[in-house]
Amino acid sequence: MQNIIQTEHLTKKFGKIIAVDNLDLEIPHGVTFGLLGPNGAGKTTTVRILNAIIKPTSGKAKVNGYDIQKDQKKVKSISGFLPESPGLYDKLTCVEFLEFIGELYSVPSAILKERIYELIELFELKGRENDLLEGYSRGMKQKVCLMSAIIHDPKVIFLDEPTSNLDPEASLMVRDMIQQLAKKADKTIFLCTHLLKHAEDLCDIIGIIKEGKLVIEGDTKKIIEETDTKDLEQAYLKIMGKVREEDLLGWRK
C-alpha cells in the first residue's frame, strides 16, 4: 500500500535546538495515526512541516505523493489542519468565518451552506452561529477552528491537540467525530495528543517521539508488548523514563 504520508530523515533545527531529528514516518492511507510525546518533543513542528507552513532544515516529506517543498499548494488543498494555537477573525460571525474559509478552498456555495449548518448542529453552536467570534468562549472558538479544518472535506486531517480547551462533553464529541471521520474510506487522520486514552481509542498506529526522535511506532498492542507493560500509559511512562505516581507512592500502602 502506498503511504499517504512519508518522511525521510526529516529534520528541523531552530538555531541550536533540534526540534525534529531524522524522522522517518510511513503512514498508510486511511489510518488514524497518533503522534505522542512530551512537551517540546517536536509534534507541532512535525505537523507544521507536513502542512507546508515551515520548511525542514533537511530531509524530505510527501503528503499524498506531493512534495511538501515543491507542491505546497497541492499539499494544502488536500489537507485540513487544526493548529495548536489557531487564529480567528474576531469581527466575523461563525457562519461568516466558515463561509470565508470554505471559499478559500473553493467549496461550491450550495455544498458549503449545507456543510456549515451540519457542523453547527454537530458542534452544538446553534443559536450562536450569527454572533461575532470575539464573544465566543475558548472552547467555542476551538470548535469553530475544528469546523474550519474539515469544511473542505480534506483527505488528510491534521489535528494538533483537538480537545484542548474543550469541556468533557465536547471532548467526547470530538473523539466521536474523529471516529466517524476515520470510518470514511479515504480519510487519513494525523493526531497529536497528550490524551493517551484518546490515542488508545482512536489510533490504528501510534508513534512516540522524544527530543525530535521517533522512539517507537506501532499499534497499541505492539507498543505494550515491546515495552513489557500493561497499558499505553505505562508504556509511555516507561519510554519516557518516568514512573506513575501510584507506583512512586507504593511505599505508603
List of residues contacting ligand ATP (CB under 6 A): 14, 17, 19, 37, 39-45, 84
142 binding Mg ion? (CB under 5 A): no
DSSP state of 251: G
CB-CB contact of 145 with 177 (8 Å): no
Residue 220: count other Cβ atoms within 10 Å of its Cβ.
19
How many Å is the Cα radius of gyration of the chain?
19
How many whole angstroms separate alpha carbon 1 and alpha carbon 31? 12
Residue 40 touches which of Mg ion, ligand ATP, none (Cβ within 5-8 Å per kind): ligand ATP
Shortest Å, Cβ 27 to ligand ATP: 17
Using CB under 5 A as the binding rule, the residues of this chain from 99 to 118 that contact Mg ion are none
Decide whether 37 or 56 has the Cβ nearer to ligand ATP: 37
44 binding Mg ion? (CB under 5 A): yes
Task: Name the packing angle between helices 138-150 and 168-183 (round to 10°).
Answer: 10
Site size toward Mg ion (CB under 5 A) is: 3
Decide whether 84 or 176 has the Cβ nearer to ligand ATP: 84
Q: Which residues of 140-164 are buried (b: 16+ CB within 10 A; e: fewer)?
A: bbbbbbbbbbbbbebbbbbbbbbbe
Decide whether 49 or 189 has the Cβ nearer to ligand ATP: 49
Decide whether 35 or 112 has the Cβ nearer to Mg ion: 35
Residue 106 touches which of Mg ion, ligand ATP, none (Cβ within 5-8 Å per kind): none
Q: Which residues make up the interface to Mg ion (CB under 5 A)? A: 43-44, 84
